[in-house]
A and B are shown apart, each in its own frame.
Chain A
């Protein structure tokens, strides 16, 4: 019983970590809490839905949906954020703009497509359970775990081992200095938008596949977990987000298994409040207190 619970928790946690990856990248580099992130997540799931319905296999639909969401993210972020960046607006302005935009995007999508829950065509992925010793998992869950590992490794390699990654880190460290060194910071910010949006899209496809429920507001319902993961992990810390995501999944599953399934929904928020009271900079963040 317990090994299965832990495995379920780990797999659930992998979905949270996957969701939070691009969100924390966006904050870490551009210092923007970008709430439109949830929409790119929804968009990725819908793109994959349309592609698989048209007969495209998952192997092709997944990267295509990720790239599509990334491109839309570049467009929307440029429209919303460029003006604020030029005006050196405070972080709350970014938060408000992206909050308004994401409501308009969700509601527009629900008005156009209808709010009902859609499912991927049967046979998109093998639904039979796979036995690993005493533990039962599905192919979708293994795919999420694998994708999570691959994407984290790819992101780390990009940030640590390439010239481009050096530029992104320079932008995160100090945008003005980066601009003075001759970096095209606008283009670099667009690239970060693309990466973040593509990660959101990929997460949307995989999580839509796992829960087999795709609807316009699916990004919104993941957002609370996303917040908890990025704050508990430390705003902007990729490693922190992964660990916090996995922990959150395990704690939720154990709560549902041993205490009550109704409490499961409140676990994430309880952790958020606890972290804010005791360690607001998160597990791996730098001090978050501001003097004012």
Chain B
């Protein structure tokens, strides 16, 4: 692909930001999927880390090509989502939230203590096999899929669960199956995001997937609102660009993310983009 020189320069200069926008968009969608069904999983950062570490090991140790690594990167996150989320499906929502925060904490300790995973130094020299266009292609496909699903009877069932799970169950929605489905979809999306970011930046470290990124991903979705999948992606872009554009914001980026969550829940429950999808008649 040949680009005009000014565009090539622009992309080269801002490569990190462009990658971050795409990856954070995917993470925001991973959060959207669970929130749209009334669940709260705080494991997106942990699932991203599992995708990043497992894919990096497949590339570095087994030298597999990226076309094989990328689809395999969803295996570990989905497995852990089943292990941790499985028992919480019939419990109140706080159990899933707590178990998934805990997952991020314990994985950080595992990355730090296991030699194969690089310890405190992390893993470096990961082949830069994920081109920017691929990240945005996957983001576009995910957006389109979630948009179509959201407009179908599945989206209707998810919204019903979010408003009142008991009423939805009474209307014949298999609540536990939906909860499991959205959790696994979320883990898979976050795992892909992890593999893509690991193979776009060549380095991953044990502290990249802990408590702070987990909460940051929630702030993306709450700023954008969960009326449609576009809201969270917009939220991710605003919160990724703002610290880049305004120098003073870089120091207090995390404070800003936290405050966004507080204000969004208290005053703007429908988010910045308070726009609700029309559904196809059943």
Task: Please report A residues at the B interface, Cβ cutoff 8 Å.
Answer: 33, 80, 83-84, 89-93, 95-97, 99-108, 111, 220-221, 223-224, 227-228, 231, 262, 265-266, 268-269, 272-273, 276-277, 280, 288-292
Nearest A residue (CB) for B89: A292
Which residues does chain B contribute within 8 Å of A89, judged by CB atoms?
265
Prevailing SS type, chain B contact patch = helix
Q: How far is the CA of A231 from the CA of B101 in the complex (A)?
A: 14
**Which residue from chain A places its CB closest to the CB of B257 in the assembled complex?**
A103
Interface string of B242-263 (1 = CB under 8 A from A): 0000000001111111111110
Instruction: Tell me the minimal C-beta distance from A261 to chain B in angstroms.
Output: 8
Contact A93 B265 (CB under 8 A): yes
Complex Cα distance, B257 from A102, in Å, reads: 11
Q: B121 contacts the other chain (Cβ, under 8 Å)?
A: no
Residues of A within 8 A of B258 (CB): 100-105, 107
**Given A103-B212, A273-B83, A265:B106 Cβ within 8 A:** yes
Given known contacts A220-B211, A269-B103, A83 and B266 CB-to-CB distance under 8 angstroms:
yes
* Chain A to chain B contacts (Cβ below 8 Å), 19 pairs: A80-B266, A91-B93, A92-B38, A92-B40, A92-B94, A97-B261, A99-B261, A103-B211, A103-B254, A108-B255, A231-B95, A268-B102, A269-B102, A273-B84, A276-B84, A276-B88, A280-B87, A292-B165, A292-B166
Per-residue interface assignment for chain B, residues 38 to 62, with 1 indicating a CB less than 8 Å from any chain A CB and 0 otherwise? 1010100000000000000000000
Please measure, in the bound complex, the distance between the C-alpha atom of A224 and the C-alpha atom of B215, giving whole angstroms. Answer: 15
Given A95-B94, A292-B175, A100 and B84 contact (CB-CB distance below 8 Å): no
Asked if B272 is at the interface (CB within 8 A of a chain A CB), the reply is no
Smallest CB-CB separation from B267: which chain A residue?
A83
Interface size class of B (residues with CB under 8 A): 35 or more
Q: Which of B6-14, B108-116, B142-150 contacts A (4 or more CB under 8 A)?
A: B108-116
Interface residue from A231, A269, A273 paired with B105 (Cβ < 8 Å) = A269
Q: Tell whether A262 pairs with B113 under 8 Å between CB atoms, given A92-B93, A103-B257, A273-B83.
A: yes
Question: Is B204 positioned at the interface, with any CB of A under 8 Å from its CB?
Answer: no
Residues of the B chain whose Cβ atoms lie less than 8 Å from the Cβ of A102? 258
A107 with B92: CB separation less than 8 A: no
Does B218 reach chain A (CB closer than 8 Å)?
yes
Bound CA span A143–B168, Å: 53
| Shortest beta-carbon distance from B181 to chain A in Å | 15
B26: interface (CB < 8 Å): no
User: B101's contact among A93, A106, A227, A273, by CB below 8 Å, is which?
Assistant: A227
Q: Which residues of A contact B215 (CB under 8 A)?
A: 99-100, 103
A33 contacts which chain B residues (CB < 8 A)? 94, 97-98
Tell yes or no: B169 within 8 A of A by CB: yes
Do A224 and B265 have beta carbons less than 8 Å apart? no
Cβ–Cβ < 8 Å partners of A228 in chain B:
102
**In the complex, what's the smallest C-beta–C-beta distance from B167 to chain A, in angstroms?**
9
Q: How far is the CB of A98 from chain B (nearest CB, A)?
A: 9
| Chain A residues within 8 Å of B94, by CB | 33, 91-92, 95
Q: In the complex, which residue of chain A has the Cβ closest to the Cβ of B40?
A: A92
- Docked complex Cα distance between A120 and B41 (Å): 38
The answer to whether A272 and B99 touch (CB under 8 A), given A107-B258, A111-B251, is: yes
